[in-house]
A and B are shown apart, each in its own frame.
Chain A
Amino acid sequence: MSVLPFLGLAFGGAAASLLLRRRVAASAIVGLLALVAATIAAAAIRPDDALAIAGSGLTGSAFGRLFLVLVTGSATVLVGIALATGWTRNLPGALLAGLGGIGLALSLPDPTMAALATLIGGLAGVLITLPGTVTPRAVAVAAREVRAIAVGGALVLLAMAWISRPLGSLAEDTAVFGLAYLAVAVGMAMRFGAIPFHLWAARVADAAPEVALPLLIAWGPAALAVVGLAWIDGSIAPVAPLTGQLPIEHLVIVLIGLACLVLGAIAAWVQEDLEHVAGYATVQDAGVVILAFAVLDPAVWEPSRTWILVLLAVRTAFAAWAVAIRARFGSRRIRELRGWARRSPMLLVALIAIGATSVGWPGLLAFDARASVITLAFDGPVRGLVLVAVFLPLLYYGRLLAIGFARPTPEVAAVADDRPRALARAAGGSAASTSGLETLGRLVAVNRGPLVASLVLVLAASAVTIAGGGFGFVGVTAAAVEAAPVVTGGNDLPGSGPGPSGQSPAPADQGGPSPAPNGPSGSPGSSGDSSAPPSPSRSPSPSVARPSPSHSPSPSVSPGASGSPQPTKSPTPSRSPRPSGSFAA
């Protein structure tokens, strides 16, 4: 129930703001108010608060709450920055619609529906891809974005539909799971603009306004990644003991992730355009998420979701920093920004904070989460090399800092520094003759630079908070470790069926053949080691249960004890010993 106010505010605010788009001030005010209200509504979402609706249900979760508070709050700040630096038409409306789609995806208990909802959120982003002056090239970029969203979404939907049902003898075919697994991972990689699907993302980064980048290439794809991780957790990982670790699919996904991790950082380093740097930096961080897809081990659940939260916070702050730099110094060409740090210590502090949280150090939650994913994805000496690659962002952060401390160009030197300015000095003593509102407007205008830098600092602080684990007042780890969504009507394989949190009966209980003592190849946590304790969730059985006619393909609401329908909950989590929880995808 607590999710509904958020959805209502997001979609309602989006409609109102978009309808008023010709009146810029009204659209901005309505959008800002809706964003503030949606942030409060997101904070009020209660975990495990389910609402039965239209034959299924919406469920709150701690992870969904943190995700939505983070992105909705960031969207509010971004709109504030856009108001101060140059308005982008449709911005608040598109942000709200996108956030509504994300909120819906994170609260739906069925991955297919959740994937559909992420498509809605992605389409909303198209509205802000086009800047003020429309050119055929910009429209082409937006059209290509639609293509990427549709194709990526179609891949994910097809894969989910294929195996989320009783499979019968098809379950014995490893290729079925491998193809579905690969399709979901590739679909998600396409949405992130991962290498080698990065062309559309690079064009979007070029054409779209900077304030739109977080929604376009980080928030929406991250929501899809959460859905995809939950689906893999519930549909692919449980059959890993049967299928083996799907080595070819694993290799392809690892290569994509590795390409993002290494080439993304190098591309961000050599780019001359700040928007491209922000875009490729996001691609690099997405590489870690893609690597998480390559791991069919319950242990990857928590670090991957932690990293997704870090990605959201850090990349939003970095995009906002790029907006502030461009607005302050009138250029987004890095060579033309020599000396920026000398003129704006506030933006310097923000970049250092963003860089520090993005790269991290051992002991920092963000660093440890990324290291865990990499450790689980790689073996042997490659692991060490990839762990070194996480420091590659130092290249582009270092370059930006070096440029910032260089001797300022005349244009940069002419820009006002961060010190607050009184109106009387700036306005030539005419302040007394104007109204209070005009005076305030002028005061804001003359202090626009430090004000925008302050907003960037707020986003940088949120990134530091998330990367540091919340410092005791934001439960990042508790949210990330929360149980996966419960999905009824899955396939008929052991350990799947009722979703990732489900505790399937033993195949023998289902009338299937008895499990062999050791699977042909288990998950990394238990492969080939019969002495190792079994995973709390996965059935190690190599045998396949026959289809059960009682499995329904459709999700998910079963009558509660009180007679009112409630989304089905599983009593025990599956991937790791984590609190029973609610739906997070």
Chain B
Amino acid sequence: MNPLLAVAAIVVTAGAVVGVAARDGRIALAGLAGVLVVSPFLADPLPPLLALLVRVVAALLAVYLAWIAVRSPGSVTRGSLLGWPVEALIAAAAWLIGFGTAGLGAPPLGLPEAQAAGFALVALAVGPIVSGRDVYRLGSGAVLLVSGVLLIRAALAGTPSQLEELVSAALFIGLGGVVAFLVTEAAEAGAAGGAVLDELPDPATVHASRVATGGR
């Protein structure tokens, strides 16, 4: 195992834990930035410098777009209901499983560390994707899910081509933009902390209920 690559994989995983568990939107975004910036380096051989630069710049742009939406000091997300230690344990377990199953049954063309980090990211993305109640958290889950899948893809099939790096970069910019757009719209709609995914009562049901209870 290359120690530098192992450190990079751990940094990616730790960033994802912070991104999922933090309740301050800015701290969560910092974790996400770590994931997006470091994950392109989890490849052997490394992509060409230009491709790496494109990924890093795209990661920074994606994070900046989201930063526009969450930079106010009052920006909060629901964070993890389980708490960061549990998320960290989940990530560690997934990391080890990913590392131990490198190649998923066939000789891998990429790095076991990339698969380990990819598994951890996908495992951490499950919570926000399935039960995220605020748009930022759900958007972070989507970013982690796609990042994790691309890491697994690099681990199984080897270093992506430059064009694939370019397309991935565009995808992450798009994801960052969509997260920023949704968080901004949620704030405009008056949803505290962007929490729009709680089951909202249907207006017709509310009206019927008021009629039935005499307006009480």
Which of B146, B157, B190, B197 has the most chain A CB within a 10 Å cutoff? B157
Cβ of A104 under 8 Å from chain B: yes
- Contact among B139, B141, B153, B163 for A53, CB-based, below 8 A: B163
A277 in contact (CB, < 8 A): no
In the complex, B175 has a CB within 8 A of chain A: yes
Q: Are A150 and B105 in contact (CB under 8 A)?
A: no
> What is the interface of chain B mostly: helix, strand, loop, or mixed?
helix
B191 at the interface (CB under 8 A from A): yes
Interface string of B124-139 (1 = CB under 8 A from A): 0000010000010011
CB distance from B99 to the nearest CB of A (A): 17
**Residues 143-199 (chain B) with a chain A CB within 8 angstroms:** 145-146, 148-150, 152-153, 156-168, 170-171, 174-175, 177-178, 181-182, 185-186, 188-191, 194, 196-197
Interface size range on B against A: 35 or more
Decide if B200 is an interface residue (CB 8 Å cutoff): yes
Chain B residues with CB under 8 A of A116? 164, 167-168, 171
> With A139-B186, A140-B196, A161-B153 known to touch, is A151 a contact of B145 (CB < 8 Å)?
yes
With beta carbons under 8 angstroms apart, the residue of B161, B181, B191 that contacts A54 is B161
A126 touches B182 (CB 8 A): yes
A456: Cβ under 8 A from any B Cβ: no
Give Cα A431–Cα B167 distance, bound, in whole angstroms. 54
Is B182 within 8 A of A146, CB to CB? Answer: yes
Q: Which residues of B contact A104 (CB under 8 A)?
A: 167
Contact (Cβ within 8 A) B109 A150: no
How would residues 135 to 153 of chain A score, 1 for a CB under 8 Å from any chain B CB and 0 otherwise? 1111110111011011101
In the complex, A140→B196 CA distance in Å? 5
Is A130's beta carbon under 8 Å from chain B? yes
Nearest residue in B to A116 (C-beta to C-beta)? B167
A152-194 near B? 1/0 per residue, CB < 8 Å: 0110011011101111111101001000000000000000000
User: Does B107 interact with chain A (Cβ within 8 Å)?
Assistant: yes
Interface centre among B153, B158, B186 (most CB of A within 10 A): B153
**Is there a chain B Cβ closer than 8 Å to A218's Cβ?**
no
Q: Is A465 positioned at the interface, with any CB of B under 8 Å from its CB?
A: no
Cβ–Cβ < 8 Å partners of A117 in chain B: 167
CB closest chain-B residue, reference A138: B189
- Interface residue from B107, B181, B186 paired with A168 (Cβ < 8 Å): B107
Residue B104 lies at the interface, judged by CB distance under 8 Å to chain A: yes
CA distance A162 to B155 in the complex (A): 10
Q: When the two chains form the complex, which single residue of A108, A124, A166 contacts B167, counting CB atoms closer than 8 Å?
A: A108
Query: Which residues 42-66 of B have a CB within 8 angstroms of A?
Result: 48, 51
Does B142 have its Cβ within 8 Å of any Cβ on chain A? yes
Q: Does A555 contact B (CB under 8 A)?
A: yes
* A113 adjacent to B189 (CB under 8 Å): no
Q: Is A120 an interface residue (CB 8 A)?
A: yes
Q: With CB as the reference atom, state the residue of chain A lying closest to B159.
A: A554
Given A113-B163, A130-B185, A147:B106 Cβ within 8 A: no
Contact at A139–B174, with CB atoms within 8 Å? Answer: no
Q: Please tell me if the beta carbons of B153 and A157 are within 8 angstroms of each other in the complex.
A: yes
Contacts of B163 in A (CB 8 A): 53-57, 108, 113, 555
Tell me which residues across on chain B come within 8 A of A167, comparing CB atoms: 105-106
B198 to chain A, nearest CB (A): 8
Cβ of A344 under 8 Å from chain B: no
Q: A116-B164, A116-B168 are in contact. Are A139 and B189 (CB under 8 A)?
A: yes
Q: Which residue of A lies closest to B200 (CB)?
A: A137
Given the interface pairs A135-B189, A151-B129, A176-B105, the reply to whether A123 lies near B175 with Cβ below 8 Å is yes
Whether A139 contacts B191 by the Cβ 8 Å rule is yes
A554 and B160: CB pair below 8 A?
A: yes
Task: Please measure, in the bound complex, the distance between the C-alpha atom of A203 and the C-alpha atom of B186, giving whole angstroms.
Answer: 17
Tell me which residues from 516 to 555 in chain A have a Cβ below 8 Å from any Cβ of chain B. Answer: 547, 552-555
**A151→B145 CA distance, assembly (Å):** 8
Contact A124-B106, Cβ < 8 Å, known A134-B189, A158-B149, A554-B157: no
Are the C-beta atoms of B161 and A554 separated by less than 8 Å? yes
B94 to chain A minimum Cβ distance, whole angstroms, is 14
Least distance between B66 CB and chain A CB atoms (Å): 13
Contacts from B to A (Cβ < 8 Å): 48, 51, 104-107, 109, 122, 129, 135, 138-139, 141-142, 145-146, 148-150, 152-153, 156-168, 170-171, 174-175, 177-178, 181-182, 185-186, 188-191, 194, 196-197, 200
Given A123-B175, A126-B178, A170-B104, 20 further pairs, Cβ under 8 A: A53-B163, A54-B165, A55-B163, A56-B161, A119-B171, A139-B189, A139-B191, A146-B139, A146-B178, A157-B150, A161-B153, A161-B157, A165-B106, A166-B106, A169-B105, A176-B105, A552-B158, A553-B109, A554-B157, A554-B159
